[in-house]
Structure 1
Amino acid sequence: MPRTVWMLVVARAINRLGAFSLPFLTVLIGTEFGAGTTTAGLVSAGFGLATIPSRVAGGRLAGRIGRRRTIVLGLVGCALAQLGIAAAGSLAAVAVFAVLLGLSFELYEPPSQALIADAVGPADRVRAYGALNAALAVGGTGSGLIAAGLGRWDLRWLFVVDALTCLACALTLRLALPADGPRGPGGVPDDGHGDGGHDGGPVRPWRDRGLWAMFASGTAFALVSLHIVMALPLTLGHRGLEPADAGLLFTASAVTVVAAQPALRLRRLAALPDPAAMALGHALLAAGLAGYAAARTLPAFLAATAVLSVGEVLVLGRVLGVVAGLAPPGGTDRYLAAYGISWGVATVAAPVTATQLLERAGAGALWAGTAVLCLVLAAAQPLVVGPLTRGLPVRPGAGAPAA
């Protein structure tokens, strides 16, 4: 794959090595400041709400100031906000820095995902995004162990180490990525023809019915993923286990993702159509979440984590390629930014839904309900993704999408 892809992969592994602080934000609020579960959930929801304009800004800034500058700006902003959380002396200060973290958190994603989509052909996007997910997992194998150790000592150090890895990632990409080129009038890279590289006028992703379909499915998938991130440490505490052991479970998930990469190249699995592969991934997620509902020991949680992690590999390896395929030439930044808002919506909802279900219905009901949602998503994939990948028209006046 092109050098740009590998640089993003390496830098993301560096960044992921320290990306373990967010799951422990609610724990920090409760243990350091004596806040209740509901208050902790609301602060985390404030972070999530701020990620929505952050994702939109990431797509727009990539068009205005360049992709490399946007990536560096987002990573430095995350580092400063995390250092603020680590040094905060009051719950109000934590809440302010959590919102600032959210405003910086998603600036990175649209330009980095668009760089990958534009650097490789449509046939290689699944492999390229798979390499990016594997890099995140490699970094995650170390991050979970660091979290398990530092979490027992002082939760604030989780945010300090996370900030340092953000700065290291920013420096790596500032030096390694090619300089930003001139931008066309539509906010897309100029291809030298004076039209911004896009012959169809301004890029308006929200007018694409195919993107809306992917957005709805992606929001539900993101809600499931963030339930795992935010509720797992709390669930361990509710069941008499050490909340910091969630770091071990995140490490187990990362190891599973890395180990599953060769399986993705098996002929039968690679030949599966996108709807079938994504339906299988959601079904495996449901099985793993059902395991969480029944688990009472750390080995049981580990087994469930391995199953659901394979499901996440199947879904994440396909979904970004489908969305990038919907975008017109030069429009990948805006399309991926628009789709990524689904994670912002879920980041707002997940702290509230997870903590409320956990408090009012218990851990078993939380994970059982999330498993049912995954089964619904599995059944919906042929209806949502099938028309897009079969080349049916998905927006007025449009032909078959590139996917």
Structure 2
Amino acid sequence: MPRTVWLLVAARAINRLGAFSLPFLTVLISTDFGASATTAGLLSAAFGLATIPSRLAGGRLAARLGRRRTIVLGLTGCALAQLGIAAAGSLAAVAAFAILLGLAFELYEPPSQGMIADAVGPAERVRAYGLLNAALAAGGTGAGLIAAALGRWDLRWLFVADALTCLACALVLRTALPADRPRRASAPTGRGGEPEPVQVQPWRDRALWAMCAAGTVFALVSMQIVVALPLALERIGFAPADAGLLFTASAVTVVAAQPALRLPRLAGLPAHAALALGYALMAAGLAGYAVAHTLPSLLAATAVWSLGDVLVLARAFGVVADLAPPGGTDRYLAVYGISWGIATTAAPVTATQLLAHVGVAALWAAAAGLCLALAAAQLLVVGPLVSRRTSPHRTAAAKAAAGAPSGPRG
């Protein structure tokens, strides 16, 4: 992997190590300001909604201001908003800073994901995005331990510590990443060998729309696991805190599974087949949750769906990056990423309503059914639509990245 990839992966792990405050936002609102559970939930939903324009702004700012500047701006904005939450003296102030946090929260993602896509060839993108996913998982494991220590002291210190990791990450990347250079989307087939500007129009790309639709359903399932698992465990006789053990097992599985991405049989699978396999594994793991009543069976189900998560995340970002024209990677990844903002807003509602009205087993069965539907859609609709996409600039770029000549031989 190029140095840029390792820098972004390491910085993401540092940033994730401090990203333990958000799950405690509703707790802080309820305990320190006496707000009702409904009010706390609405403020958390407002944060989730704010991440949607944040993701789109990240893609546009990366093209206009530069990737490094956008990354530093996003991380610094997150730090300031976190410090504002920690120092807030009223519920209105917390609400304002929570929304500001959402508006800065996703600025980092499109430029960092775009830098990774451009730093490696198409054949290495799956591994590179897999490393990024593993960094998030590894950082999340340590984040839980830090949260357990600081949270017993004062919840506000969680936001202070999170802000400090954001500032540390911003400083490292501002110093170590290459300077921003003007970029524009272009096709390498212009007259006289000069690049011709092309318009980046992700909203008109049917293949990207198909990936976004599948990605939104996948993100909804993923966020429902985060929201519902502690509540579901309590209903089947476990302590809600046992969810931390299962999330740790998931993180360990994600990290340990990274070498598998390079196995010839797995790496050689077409993208649509690998994504369908990932969705099927997630369905199997979630179906295991529906019938599990012991800790070993819950751990086994967690490992299975986590393996599916590894396959889906690494491949999906690679497919979206391949769809983008040269210079348009940030915008494409930004549009694809709003699926997580939608899921973050919707999952607390769908998960709690399903638990209240149909129960634990039906909740996990429904999530497994959605994953099976995604696997079928990937094979029958999304995969063929993406495969039919032909673009001269993509073909030439892929050949150049692979070291192949872009013109006829001879």
CA distance in structure 2 between the partners assigned to 1:301 and 1:165 by the alignment = 32
Letter in 1 for 2:312: V
CA distance in structure 1 between the partners assigned to 2:101 and 2:230 by the alignment = 21
- Quick check: 1:2–1:119 contact (8 Å CA) kept in 2? yes
| CA shift digits 1:187-219 (9 cap, x unpaired) | x5999x9xxx96253211111111111110011
Aligned length, in residue pairs: 392
Matched, 1:147 2:156: no
Pick from 274, 284, 307: which aligns with 1:287? 284
| CA shift digits 1:308-366 (9 cap, x unpaired) | 11110010110011001111111111111111111122222122222333344444333
Q: Which residue of 2 aligns with 1:367?
A: 364
TM-score (structure 1 length as normaliser): 0.88
- Quick check: 1:183–1:190 contact (8 Å CA) kept in 2? no
Pick from 373, 382, 393: which aligns with 2:389? 393
Q: Which residue of 1 aligns with 2:84?
A: 84
Residues 1:139 and 1:85: Cα distance change in structure 2 (over 3 Å)? same
Q: Which residue of 2 aligns with 1:226?
A: 223
Matching of residues 56-67 of structure 1 within 5 Å: 56-67=56-67
Q: Which residue of 1 aligns with 2:129?
A: 129
Residues 1:77 and 1:170: Cα distance change in structure 2 (over 3 Å)? same
Q: Percent identity?
A: 76
Deviates more, 1:148-157 or 1:108-117: 148-157
Deviates more, 1:261-270 or 1:309-318: 261-270
Q: Which residue of 2 aligns with 1:114?
A: 114
Question: Shift of the alpha carbon at 1:273?
Answer: 1.5
Residues 1:32 and 1:281: Cα distance change in structure 2 (over 3 Å)? farther
- Quick check: 2:284–2:368 contact (8 Å CA) kept in 1? yes
Residues 1:175 and 1:379: Cα distance change in structure 2 (over 3 Å)? same
- Quick check: 1:38–1:352 contact (8 Å CA) kept in 2? no
Matched, 1:213 2:213: no
Matched, 1:311 2:311: no
Unaligned runs of 5+ in 2: 399-410
CA distance in structure 2 between the partners assigned to 1:53 and 1:10 by the alignment = 26
CA distance in structure 1 between the partners assigned to 2:373 and 2:79 by the alignment = 38
CA distance in structure 2 between the partners assigned to 1:4 and 1:335 by the alignment = 20
Letter in 1 for 2:73: L
Question: Shift of the alpha carbon at 1:94?
Answer: 3.1
Matched, 1:158 2:154: no
Letter in 2 for 1:310: L
CA distance in structure 1 between the partners assigned to 2:232 and 2:89 by the alignment = 27
Question: Shift of the alpha carbon at 1:52?
Answer: 0.9
CA distance in structure 2 between the partners assigned to 1:239 and 1:301 by the alignment = 11
Pick from 243, 247, 254: which aligns with 1:246? 243
| CA shift digits 1:287-320 (9 cap, x unpaired) | 2223333445554443332221111001011001
Matched, 1:331 2:328: yes
Question: Shift of the alpha carbon at 1:37?
Answer: 4.6
SS, match of residue 365 in structure 1: helix
Letter in 2 for 1:309: S
TM-score (structure 2 length as normaliser): 0.87
- Quick check: 2:325–2:393 contact (8 Å CA) kept in 1? no
Question: Shift of the alpha carbon at 1:283?
Answer: 1.5
Q: Which residue of 2 aligns with 1:16?
A: 16
CA distance in structure 2 between the partners assigned to 1:189 and 1:64 by the alignment = 15
Residues 1:122 and 1:199: Cα distance change in structure 2 (over 3 Å)? same
Letter in 2 for 1:287: A
Q: Which residue of 1 aligns with 2:406?
A: none
Letter in 2 for 1:111: P
Matched, 1:274 2:274: no
Matching of residues 159-238 of structure 1 within 5 Å: 159-184=159-184, 199-238=196-235
- Quick check: 1:181–1:189 contact (8 Å CA) kept in 2? no
Residues 1:62 and 1:12: Cα distance change in structure 2 (over 3 Å)? same
Pick from 312, 329, 345: which aligns with 1:348? 345
Unaligned runs of 5+ in 1: none
CA RMSD after TM alignment: 2.7
Residues 1:354 and 1:155: Cα distance change in structure 2 (over 3 Å)? farther
SS, match of residue 19 in structure 1: coil
Matched, 1:54 2:54: yes
CA distance in structure 2 between the partners assigned to 1:63 and 1:367 by the alignment = 41
- Quick check: 1:198–1:328 contact (8 Å CA) kept in 2? no
